[in-house]
């Protein structure tokens, strides 16, 4: 396995740490090295962690979902074809939810790999292409819907023009608009207590924070930082991890505290995996990386 030398990470900690983390207590574990797990893919995305700490991610151009085994640090193909899966997330029953981009759908994949289509339209029109998602404590699902033209799509005028974020309630199954006025919404994540939601507008290079109401609706849109994100995650300290040019980490007040350089042209997404959820799992171009952390993920 290839590793990025430790001196690079020590330099990054010194250069980019701007918060209350004292020297020696960085969010990155002492002597941790960014480790290349594999570069055998075309474009990696959508990492999602299961209850055992394994991480499932996508290689969309090759139409497959892969699984990183937390015990063996090995990768195997989990599902192919996969409906051109992009963003992934596990629901509270252990089903893998997928933004299945081939037909602009949201899928639920059960442990037997049987597929149920949860969303295939909104008011009779195709979505722009569900991209990323987050499952609230209630079981409701938030979905970002940008529009990135795909080579496998057939020409159609029957597609929604507005770029929005939708909410699928846990009971009714009726898709609802919960946020609008985006150029290109993409990364999304919510807090464990279900009170706060972060949404990135990649097209406008901004990330917003919202308060979540009991019915799943959103209010009090506030600018969190002047940086968009392809994917995102949170740690147990409330720090927000944004992707694009490496991984940039902000504390809960919107102050940048860290930046992790992957050395790749684009870093698409990030989550926490491993038995203790202290392994930062990063998808970047044709590669996936891991990095041991002093903080851990939350679900």
Domain boundary assignment for the chain: 6-292
Which class in CATH covers the domain with range 6-292?
mainly beta
Q: How far apart are CA 118 and CA 23, in angstroms?
A: 47
pLDDT tens string 255-289: 999 999 999 999 999 999 999 999 999 999 999 99
Cβ-in-10-Å burial (0-12, 13-18, 19+) of 47 comes to buried
CA torsion 201-206-211-217 (nearest 10°) is -20
Contact 94, 100 (CB under 8 A): no
Cα–Cα–Cα angle for 178, 153, 144, rounded to 5 degrees: 15
pLDDT tens string 39-85: 999 999 999 999 999 999 999 999 999 999 999 999 999 999 999 99
For the segment 123-128, the average pLDDT, to the nearest whole number, is 94
Predicted TM-score (pTM) of this structure: 0.91
- Residue 22 in this model has a pLDDT that exceeds 50: no
Contact 90, 135 (CB under 8 A): yes
């Amino acid at each position: 396995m290839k590793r990025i030398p430790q001196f690079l990470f020590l330099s990054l900690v010194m250069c980019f740490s701007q918060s209350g983390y004292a020297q020696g207590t960085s969010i990155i574990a002492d002597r941790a090295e960014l480790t290349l797990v594999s570069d055998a893919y075309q474009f990696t995305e959508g990492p999602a962690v299961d209850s055992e700490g394994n991480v499932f991610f996508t290689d969309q151009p090759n139409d497959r979902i892969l699984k990183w085994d937390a015990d063996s640090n090995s990768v195997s193909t989990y599902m192919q074809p996969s409906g051109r899966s992009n963003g992934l997330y596990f629901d509270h029953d252990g089903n893998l939810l997928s933004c299945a981009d081939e037909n602009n759908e949201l899928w639920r994949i059960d442990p037997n790999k049987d597929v149920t289509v949860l969303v295939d339209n909104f008011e009779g029109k195709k979505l722009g292409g569900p991209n990323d998602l987050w499952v609230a404590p209630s079981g409701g699902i938030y979905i970002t819907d940008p529009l990135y033209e795909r080579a496998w799509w057939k020409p159609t005028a029957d597609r929604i023009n507005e770029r929005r974020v939708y909410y699928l309630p846990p009971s009714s199954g009726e898709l609802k608009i919960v946020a609008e006025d985006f150029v290109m919404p993409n990364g999304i994540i919510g807090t464990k207590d279900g009170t706060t939601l972060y949404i990135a507008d990649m097209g406008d290079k901004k990330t917003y924070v919202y308060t979540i109401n009991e019915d799943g609706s959103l209010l009090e849109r506030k600018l969190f930082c002047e940086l968009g994100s392809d994917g995102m995650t949170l740690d147990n300290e409330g720090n927000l991890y944004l992707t694009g040019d490496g991984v940039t980490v902000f504390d809960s007040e919107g102050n940048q505290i860290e930046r992790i350089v992957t050395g790749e042209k684009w870093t698409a997404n990030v989550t926490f995996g491993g038995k203790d959820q202290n392994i930062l799992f990063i998808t970047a171009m044709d590669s996936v990386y891991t990095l041991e952390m002093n903080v851990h993920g939350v679900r």
